[in-house]
A and B are shown apart, each in its own frame.
Chain A
Amino acid sequence: MLKQIRQAGPWLLSRIEKIFSVAFTPAWNPFYHLGALTIFFFWVVVVSGVYVFLFFETSVTHAYESVEWLTHTQWYLGGVMRSLHRYASDAAVVTIGVHMAKEFINGRNRGARWFSWFTGIPLLWLVFPLGITGYWLVWDQLAQYVAIATSELLDVLPIFSDPMARNFLTNESVSDRFFTLMAFLHLIGLPVFLLFAIWLHLLRISRPTVNPPLGLMIGSLSALTVLSLLWPALSQAPANFSQEATGIGFDWFYLLAYLLLDFGSPALMWLVLVGSSTLLCLLPWLPPRRRSPAAVVSLPNCNGCGRCVADCPYNAVSLAPRTDGLAYANEAVVNAELCTACGICAGACPTSTPLRRKSELVPGIDLPGLPIRALRDWTLAAAVQPGGEPGARVLVYGCASGVNLAALRNSSVAVVELQCVAQLPPAFIDFVISRRHADGVFLLGCRQNDCHFRLGVQWTDERLAGKRDPYLRARVPRERIATYWGGQVTRAEIEGEINAFRVRLHALGPYQPVPATPAADEVAP
């Protein structure tokens, strides 16, 4: 029951994502580029903010007027820039929220990935103050509310000897120096810290995607620009401390938490903010689970070629000077703290070949929990199923993050489960087809751009297409290989695809091997 509840989240999310994939294709699906979209919105905010600041006057008496002038007199550019500034900020909050929810639901915040999750929480503590100080600068009714509420919130902390809220008792009590401070925080202080925090957030990720696809950038920016023209962001009545601000046009993306202040107390708001942040920080370890053992290097089989280093999505493998005296310059070294046990490194190792006959199958780098030797044993065991339809026997290699692979098994379909589809060395496909262990190989993985281990689907595509080492040998007939990057699809969907593949295999007839020399059939370890 608990397992079903836990699986319901990813299943539901994948349904939503699939709808978006129909319109956007997986390449442009915004759900697969949430982090990069957030960074893109940040840059939109930066550029539009710089433009708005050129016309902004940091004084109590002129701040409101300068924003009004920009909004109404220079509506065609200044007004649009101001609106882009606001809407892109709000869009970033949405993408951050969905990004966090998605990573949590898919369990991508656990294990070695805790660091990216953990360092994402301080980002929240920078993004929200950044937005709130921005509203403060407009000096309208919303600014008045934000100024008083935020001051009351800060006043419960034992850092100010005098109540900060006293600065907003009357119109005369606000000074220009306050605007200078806010402008500094909003324009320099917080953005600089935010950039540093983004860098930290991406520190342990190999090849982080910091820019969404061009099409998604154009689409998002166009949509925000159209919105800015049709529904420009406007100031409310100017701040007036002789009257309470009511009926405020409230930005619910940034200010929702302020309800805790108004309906509870500043202490309650701090309790909820700090408590929820602490809980979020601890989520990667709740409940505690045993981590899969990290990849290990077998030095006698490692020649320090660096393919595993190039393919590791989490910078867990690096090259170091040789320590065992063999005549190679380097050796692979695994940082177990960073390793997610995806097995992509083993799939990249040129020694991970089941075609090897002259020595024991121990690759240069391997997963102790699911070694390449076990993959070969399972492949051989799966291939001997009796009763399969001649000419249409399919061996499915699927990743553990997708559908329930065991349910796909039948007399003509054998299944081998991998940690990630890129754990499969291309030589296995050659092995299965050339040795006639099956008539075709069906690779089943996460959706494109949404691989559970980030780069597994991309690396597999490139290996099959001969663009990434280790390549699939040219002799392997591509028509006997099918890839389906479906993620959390239903059993019926995947069975339909496999059956369609079997029909194509049947039409191809029995596999006719290309004449090969024994030397060509072997890949030296």
Chain B
Amino acid sequence: MTVSDGKPAQKYTHMPESKPAQSPLRQQRRLEKYPHALARYAGQAVAYAAFVVLLAFFATAPAYSPVDPEAAMIKLSFIHVGQRKVECRKMSPEEIALLPPNMRLTLDCPRERLPVLVELELDGKLLLRRELVASGLSHDRASSIYQKFVVPPGRHVVTARLRDSARTEGFDYTRSTDVVLKPRQNFVVDFRAEAGGFSFH
């Protein structure tokens, strides 16, 4: 190394040399009595082999089934904006005049949306009934759901119902289908109001 003032570090070489130092590694090897190189390489090969077998095995095995391979799956998922909680109201000329000129509209439309009520039935048995609150801080955005149901394969009647209005009884959209589900089949219940309501895939 070089010292900070730029001069080389002092070496104490003014005394007569004694017996040359044995290299530390050689001394260590002698002390620990390492096996012959071939034996060591064989040992390394065993270690590498064990390591790669571990990698190869757990990279793919044991096989994993997140769901029962003999079962079918129904997924209910949609994004839908409920109707307005309060209907738009036509503002009076006086009310409009109070607004800044660049924000003058004829209709006052509160942003908040109604929650969406959804029901899913399988063979007449209720799987799900949930009220989906509209997202957004002011609850002015869409309601959404993503829900999975593991069901036995075979013939089923799937019925989906949805209410997005202020009505207190009944539903705005209902659709039912008779389906034969195979093991592992993924049956999707989606909803698009613009396409007429529920769709089954």
Interface residues of A (CB under 8 A from B): 20-28, 30, 86-87, 90-91, 94, 145, 149, 152, 155, 161-163, 165-166, 169-170, 219-220, 222-224, 226-227, 231, 233, 241-253, 258, 262, 304-307, 310, 319, 328-330, 350, 448, 461, 464-466, 468-469, 471, 473-479, 482-486, 497, 514, 516, 520
Contact = CB atoms under 8 A, between A and B. Distances in A.
B55 to A, nearest CB: 5
Contact of B16 (A90, A244, A475): A475
B29 interface: yes
Interface stretch (B3-11, B93-101, B112-120, B154-162): B3-11
B28 A248 contact: no
B67 interface: yes
B61 interface: yes
Contacts of A94: 51, 54-55
A86 B17 contact: no
Contacts of B31: 482, 484, 497
- 9 A-B pairs with the lowest CB-CB distances in the bound complex, closest first: A23-B43, A249-B60, A223-B48, A250-B64, A163-B146, A461-B24, A475-B15, A246-B69, A227-B52
A350 B79 CA distance: 75
Given A248-B66, A474-B15, 4 more contacts: A169-B188, A243-B185, A306-B1, A473-B12
A448 B141 CA distance: 64
Interface of B: 1, 3-5, 9-25, 27-29, 31-32, 34-35, 40, 42-44, 46-49, 51-52, 54-56, 58-69, 73, 75, 77, 79, 135-136, 141-142, 144-146, 184-186, 188, 190, 201
Given A219-B44, A223-B49, A231-B56, A161 B4 contact: no
Given A464-B24, A485-B28, A469 B77 contact: no
B188 A465 contact: no
23 contacts: A23-B44, A24-B43, A26-B28, A27-B25, A87-B55, A90-B55, A149-B66, A152-B146, A161-B135, A165-B146, A169-B75, A227-B55, A231-B56, A248-B63, A248-B66, A262-B66, A307-B1, A307-B9, A468-B1, A469-B11, A471-B12, A482-B27, A484-B28
Contacts of B51: 91, 94, 223
Contacts of A243: 184-186
A244 B148 CA distance: 11
B64 A155 contact: no
Nearest to A215: B44
B93 to A, nearest CB: 37
A474 B56 contact: no
A155 to B, nearest CB: 7
Contact of A224 (B29, B52, B185): B52
Given A329-B4, A474-B13, A87 B59 contact: yes
A152 B67 CA distance: 15
A520 B63 contact: no
A330 B2 CA distance: 14
B199 to A, nearest CB: 10
Contacts of B5: 304, 328-329
Contacts of A155: 146
Contacts of A245: 66
A520 B14 contact: yes
A507 B62 CA distance: 62
B28 A483 contact: yes
Nearest to B64: A250
Contacts of B34: 22, 25
A242 B146 contact: no
A169 B77 contact: yes
A475 B14 CA distance: 9
Contact of A220 (B9, B24, B48, B201): B48
Contacts of B188: 169-170
A233 B4 CA distance: 55
A24 B19 contact: no
A27 to B, nearest CB: 7
B79 A162 contact: yes
Contacts of B60: 249-251
Given A90-B55, A251-B59, A477 B19 contact: yes
B149 to A, nearest CB: 12
B145 A163 contact: yes
Contacts of A22: 32, 34-35, 40, 43
B1 A478 contact: no
A217 to B, nearest CB: 12
A466 B22 CA distance: 11
B59 A24 contact: no
B15 A473 contact: yes
A170 B67 CA distance: 18
A448 B184 CA distance: 56
A212 B146 CA distance: 48
Contacts of A485: 24, 28
A516 B15 contact: yes
Contacts of A476: 18
Nearest to A149: B66
B26 to A, nearest CB: 11
Contacts of A223: 48-49, 51-52
A156 to B, nearest CB: 11
Given A245-B66, A246-B66, A478 B22 contact: yes
A191 B135 CA distance: 34
A520 B13 CA distance: 10
A147 to B, nearest CB: 12
